[in-house]
């Protein structure tokens, strides 16, 4: 199973050009991927640099017709032209997608800084080794208060899924919306987390649960041990980011950590201000 996560900056490269095809081509050059997790996908935002207001959710999906496309809309507002302006995350999957959730994350008031609504997009995939939850999100950049509450909510959502897995004996109605579908504890969490590896919020993500819920582990550390994370931001764009650092991570639950074969950052591409990260899981 090959998964790539990437903050694509609305498909805008360091050259200022918006190009959805280039994004997909870079991913194809990295691996024969099965899952793509994209952050910062835009629809009808003509004021974004380099954009004509194109529907990037549709464009990226059309470039991979053999994949199913699932959008997680965080920002959904009325534009001046009367059309919806939407911004959020996108999961594209080769595997059957059993069910999808879009969880709006906490957004407590923090008037001292700009901020926006954030969403965690969760898809339950029928992967070859069994169902697995893939969640991708993009945490708040400016507000530490909001980012901390968003991390806590991600932990709550993971514990909730583990409880759903245990509760298999309740009554249900077959064939309708009350029918129980798989929501496994085994999970992969990807994001532009907007924190660094030494931030207490990184430690919070991987903290154990007291109820036996399988904890998250940083897949990079599973594969590379104490080696510092490769930088994922500011590698090529030195205008927005004068210092390069890592803030894009992949976490896997401890029950599947033994299947981590590799985690690699593509340091060569400048198709976004962030670098894409590849996870290889053994079947």
More confident call, 169 vs 101: 101
And the tokens for 139?
């945490």
User: What domain range is 249 assigned to?
Assistant: 2-167+180-281
The answer to whether position 172 is within a domain reads no
Compute the distance between CA of residue 247 and CA of residue 193 in angstroms, rounded to an integer.
6
The answer to whether position 76 is within a domain reads yes
Look at 19-33, 47-61, 154-168 and tell me which has the smallest mean pLDDT: 154-168
Indicate the pLDDT class of residue 173, thresholds 50, 70 and 90. confident
The answer to whether position 174 is within a domain reads no
117 in Cβ contact with 72 (< 8 Å): no
Each residue of 46-55: pLDDT tens digit? Answer: 999 999 999 9
Structural domains counted in the chain: 1
DSSP state of 223: H
Each residue of 211-248: pLDDT tens digit? Answer: 999 999 999 999 999 999 999 999 999 999 999 999 99
Indicate the pLDDT class of residue 182, thresholds 50, 70 and 90. confident
* Closest C-alpha among 7, 66, 58, 73 to residue 33: 66
DSSP state of 92: E
Whole-number pLDDT of residue 168 = 59
121 in Cβ contact with 151 (< 8 Å): no
**Average pLDDT of span 103-130:** 97
Percent of the chain with pLDDT over 90: 93
* Closest C-alpha among 185, 187, 188 to residue 166: 185
**pLDDT of 170 strictly over 70:** no
CB neighbour list of residue 177: distance below 8 Å, 6 or more residues apart: none
The answer to whether position 175 is within a domain reads no
* Closest C-alpha among 238, 223, 232 to residue 195: 232
Indicate the pLDDT class of residue 171, thresholds 50, 70 and 90. low
Burial 178-198 (b: 16+ CB within 10 A, else e): eeeebbbbbbbbbbbbbbebe
Residue 69, domain CATH: 3.60.10.10
């Amino acid at each position: 199973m090959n998964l790539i996560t990437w903050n694509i900056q609305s498909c805008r490269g360091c050259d200022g050009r918006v190009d959805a095809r280039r994004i997909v081509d870079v991913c194809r050059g990295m691996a024969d991927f099965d899952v793509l997790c994209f952050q910062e996908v835009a629809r009808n935002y003509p004021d974004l640099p380099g954009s004509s207001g194109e529907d990037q959710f549709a464009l990226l999906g059309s470039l991979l017709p053999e994949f199913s496309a699932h959008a997680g809309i965080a920002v959904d507002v009325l534009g001046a032209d009367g059309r919806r302006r939407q911004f959020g995350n996108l999961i594209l999957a080769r595997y059957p997608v059993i069910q999808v959730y879009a969880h709006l994350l906490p957004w407590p008031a923090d008037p001292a800084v700009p901020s926006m609504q954030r969403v965690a997009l969760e898809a339950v995939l029928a992967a070859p080794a069994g169902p697995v939850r893939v969640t991708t999100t993009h945490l708040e950049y400016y507000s530490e208060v909001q980012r901390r509450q968003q991390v806590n909510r991600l932990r709550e959502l993971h514990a909730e899924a583990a409880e759903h897995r245990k509760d298999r004996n309740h009554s249900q109605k077959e064939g309708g919306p009350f029918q129980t579908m798989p929501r496994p504890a085994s999970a992969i969490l990807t994001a532009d987390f907007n924190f660094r590896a030494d931030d207490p919020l990184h430690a919070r993500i991987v903290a154990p649960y007291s109820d036996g819920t399988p904890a998250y582990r940083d897949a990079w550390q599973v594969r590379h041990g104490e080696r510092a994370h490769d930088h994922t931001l500011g590698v090529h764009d030195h205008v927005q980011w004068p210092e390069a650092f890592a803030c894009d991570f992949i976490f896997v639950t401890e029950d599947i950590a033994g299947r981590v074969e590799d985690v690699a950052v593509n340091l060569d591409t400048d198709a976004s201000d962030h670098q894409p990260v590849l996870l290889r899981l053994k079947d």
